[in-house]
Amino acid sequence: MLVLVAPGQGAQKPGLLTPWLDLPGVADRLAEWSAAIDLDLVRYGTEGDAEQIRDTAVAQPLLVAASLISTGTLLEGHDPGRVLGAVAGHSVGELAAAATAGVLSPTDAMTLVRTRGRAMAEAAAVTETGMSAVLGGEPESVVAHLKKLDLTPANINGAGQIVAAGTTEQLAALNEDKPDKARVIPLKVAGAFHTAHMAPAVDAMATAVADTKIHDPALRYVSNLDGLAVTDGQEVVRRLVNQISAPVRWDLCMETFQQLGVTALIEVCPGGTLTGLAKRALPGVRTVALKTPDDLEAARELIAEHTPTA
């Protein structure tokens, strides 16, 4: 079974869209989305430096655009429901996954991620907050240690990685008082995402989805909330809204992939983070990370191998 996954915030890199613009139709699609959301995706995706694309209001639309462009290129001529056994996204990547599953149109996904990014940036500006990766240690002990410091385990990613979120003071305390046998690495994100600090953004997103056309997923959609496959489009969107202030359980998503019999996993642009987790948590599963169009051939080989012949 082949799984397609889309990365979340923090995966963005300067110039991530540059090589994709050489492909037919990509510039036109990006221009259309840029006009729809009033954000120059091409400029930020080709010229934006690391600090500019760290801005949540920019990073989130840029990431979803890169995921949708690479997914559309990869799956051109294919029925996603026929070649993919499941689709999932990490945090904001869930919007790209929802579009791939047919729950949202690509343009609606871009419109919603623009609202999401702005609202989360505004929520993050209220208090100085951030996130740090905790690598290693026993998961239960790490979570207990974070709660002792009033930090939220905002991403439980599996493969020995938990992301803590909270105020800068709480994160400073974590750096001084690390969980046993664990390392702490500050992340280049501009807020405590997937925590109560993001509650105002939940309301903004709920308003934004009210008039959006929603369809039931055309293929298995695995949710960050609990790793369950969701078959109702309205429920997918409800989870997308509430997930803004709820922890990401990528560990449970990977457990679901394993239970479903995953044999291969493709991470769309900007790939690397989720394939890295899969290599550690899903041994024996073949992985391809789409970073540039040069990676398409390897990904297409996996698709060919997993496409039913009858």
194 an active-site residue? yes
Mean pLDDT of 13-32: 97
| Ranges of each domain in the chain | 2-124+196-305, 129-186
Longest dimension (CA), the chain: 59
Catalytic one among 34, 67, 70, 91? 91
Q: What does the alpha-carbon distance between residue 286 and residue 291 come to, in Å, rounded to a whole number?
A: 16
Give residue-wise pLDDT tens across range 47-102.
999 999 999 999 999 999 999 999 999 999 999 999 999 999 999 999 999 999 99
Q: pTM of the full predicted structure?
A: 0.95
Q: What percent of the chain has pLDDT over 70?
A: 100
Structure confidence at residue 310 as a pLDDT band (50, 70, 90): low
Residues in the chain, total? 310
145 an active-site residue? no
- Residue 99's nearest CA partner among 283, 291, 237 is 237
Q: What does the alpha-carbon distance between residue 90 and residue 88 come to, in Å, rounded to a whole number?
A: 7
Catalytic one among 194, 197, 223, 245? 194
Q: Is the predicted pLDDT of residue 142 greater than 70, yes or no?
A: yes
Give residue-wise pLDDT tens across range 237-296.
999 999 999 999 999 999 999 999 999 999 999 999 999 999 999 999 999 999 999 999
Q: Which fold has domain 129-186?
A: Alpha-Beta Plaits (3.30.70)
Query: What pLDDT score does 94 carry?
Result: 98
Let me know: does 223 contact 230? Beta carbons within 8 Å: yes
Strand residues in 193-259 grouped as ranges (E):
221-222, 229-230
- Residue 8's nearest CA partner among 234, 184, 240 is 240
Q: What does the alpha-carbon distance between residue 185 and residue 143 come to, in Å, rounded to a whole number?
A: 16
Architecture (CATH level 2) of domain 2-124+196-305: 3-Layer(aba) Sandwich (3.40)
